[in-house]
C-alpha cells in the first residue's frame, strides 16, 4: 500500500466532509473527533485484542478503504459469522460512511503467486496483447524491450496506462470480480479466497499518481532473480520515455536516466 493512497484518501474525505461541529466528542478534555479517512489494508487489527478491528471505531470515519477480502474475516463483531457482511454493519452504524475496495490501478498489474486468476490473465495478455501486438497492453523496457517487473513490488507488471482497450478490460474485469459472480456471498475464486462486495460503494485506485512509478526501478522478467530480489539490468517502460541524442529522458522532468 503506497503512501499516495493514504494521502489521496485523506484529501478525498476532507473535500467531502460536511462542515460544522458534528465530530464526536472524546473524553478526557480532548477536542472533537475530525472524521476524515481510514485506510485498512493487509493484516490490520494487530493492535487490538484478538487480532481484529472494531466496527464501531471504523464507523466514525467518512471514508473507509479496505482490501477485497476484508468484508468479514478481520472485523471483531462479524469475523465468526459468515452470514454477516462488515460493509452492511458499518453502514448500519453510520449510514453516511463510504466504503471503497482497494485495487491496483491499470498502470500496473499485480501478478501474485497466490492469485491464479490474474496469473492466467497475465499470460493471456502477453499472448494476445504483448510484444508485437498492434494493440499492446503490456509495458516493455526502453532498453531491453522485455516485459517488466517492479523491483520495489516484484508482483507488479508494467502496463500501458494510456491504452483505452486495456482500460476497458481492466474496469470490466475488476467490476465483475468484485460485484459479479465472485462478489456474491459464499463464492470463492480459484485462489480459494472469498469475496462479498455488497454494500461497498466503489474502487480505490492505487498507482494513479501523475508520473510513472519507480523511475528506472523495473527489471526485465528474464533478468530477475526472484530468490534474491535482484535484477541483472534495470529498465523502465518505453512508453514513458523520449530518446534524444542517445540518452533516455523522462517525460516527467526531462532529466537523463542514470
Answer yes or no: pTM beyond 0.75: no
Angle between helices 164-179 and 116-129 (to 10 degrees): 160
Helical ranges in 65-198 per DSSP H = 86-93, 116-129, 164-179
What's the pLDDT score for residue 34? 73
Write the DSSP symbol of residue 66: E
98-104/202-206 β-pairing = parallel
What's the pLDDT score for residue 16? 38
**Ramachandran area for residue 63 (φ above 0: left; ψ -120 to 50: alpha; else beta):** beta
State the number of CA atoms in the 13 A half-sphere of 147 facing the CB: 22
What's the pLDDT score for residue 132? 95
What's the pLDDT score for residue 105? 86
Q: How far is Cα of residue 78 from the mean position of the Cα atoms in its chain?
A: 24
Q: How many helices (H) and strands (E) does the chain have?
A: 5, 12
Q: Domain ranges in the chain?
A: 3-104, 108-162+209-250
Digit-by-digit pLDDT tens for the chain (258 residues) are 443 333 343 334 333 334 333 444 334 455 676 767 888 766 677 777 888 888 988 898 888 988 776 666 788 888 887 777 888 899 999 999 999 988 888 989 999 888 888 999 999 999 999 999 999 999 999 889 999 999 999 999 999 988 999 999 999 988 888 887 555 555 555 554 556 778 889 988 887 765 667 777 899 999 999 888 889 999 988 887 554 444 444 444 444 444
Phi, psi of 167 (to 5 degrees): -60, -45
Helix (H) or strand (E) holding 62: none
What's the pLDDT score for residue 178? 82
Amino acid at each position: 500500500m503506497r503512501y499516495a493512497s493514504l494521502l489521496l484518501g485523506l484529501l478525498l474525505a476532507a473535500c467531502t466532509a460536511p462542515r460544522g461541529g458534528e465530530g464526536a466528542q472524546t473524553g478526557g478534555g480532548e477536542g472533537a473527533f475530525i472524521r476524515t479517512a481510514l485506510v485498512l489494508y493487509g493484516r490490520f487489527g494487530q493492535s487490538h485484542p484478538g487480532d481484529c478491528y472494531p466496527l464501531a471505531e471504523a464507523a466514525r470515519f467518512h471514508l473507509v478503504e479496505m482490501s477485497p477480502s476484508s468484508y468479514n474475516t478481520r472485523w471483531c463483531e462479524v469475523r465468526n459469522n459468515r452470514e454477516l457482511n462488515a460493509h452492511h454493519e458499518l453502514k448500519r452504524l453510520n449510514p453516511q460512511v463510504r466504503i471503497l475496495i482497494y485495487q491496483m490501478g491499470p498502470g500496473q498489474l499485480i501478478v501474485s503467486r497466490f492469485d491464479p486468476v490474474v496469473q492466467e490473465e497475465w499470460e493471456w495478455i502477453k499472448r494476445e496483447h504483448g510484444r508485437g501486438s498492434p494493440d499492446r497492453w503490456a509495458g516493455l523496457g526502453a532498453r531491453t524491450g522485455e516485459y517488466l517487473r517492479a523491483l520495489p513490488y516484484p508482483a507488479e507488471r508494467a502496463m500501458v496506462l494510456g491504452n483505452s482497450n486495456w482500460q476497458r478490460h481492466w474496469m470490466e474485469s475488476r467490476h465483475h470480480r468484485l460485484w459479479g459472480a465472485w462478489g456474491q456471498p459464499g463464492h470463492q475464486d480459484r485462489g480459494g479466497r472469498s469475496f462479498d462486495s455488497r454494500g461497498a460503494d466503489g474502487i480505490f485506485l492505487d498507482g494513479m499518481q501523475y508520473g510513472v512509478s519507480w523511475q528506472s526501478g523495473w527489471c526485465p522478467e528474464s533478468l530477475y532473480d526472484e530468490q534474491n530480489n535482484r535484477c541483472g539490468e534495470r529498465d523502465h517502460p518505453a512508453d514513458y520515455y523520449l530518446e534524444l541524442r542517445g540518452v533516455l529522458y523522462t517525460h516527467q522532468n526531462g532529466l537523463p536516466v542514470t
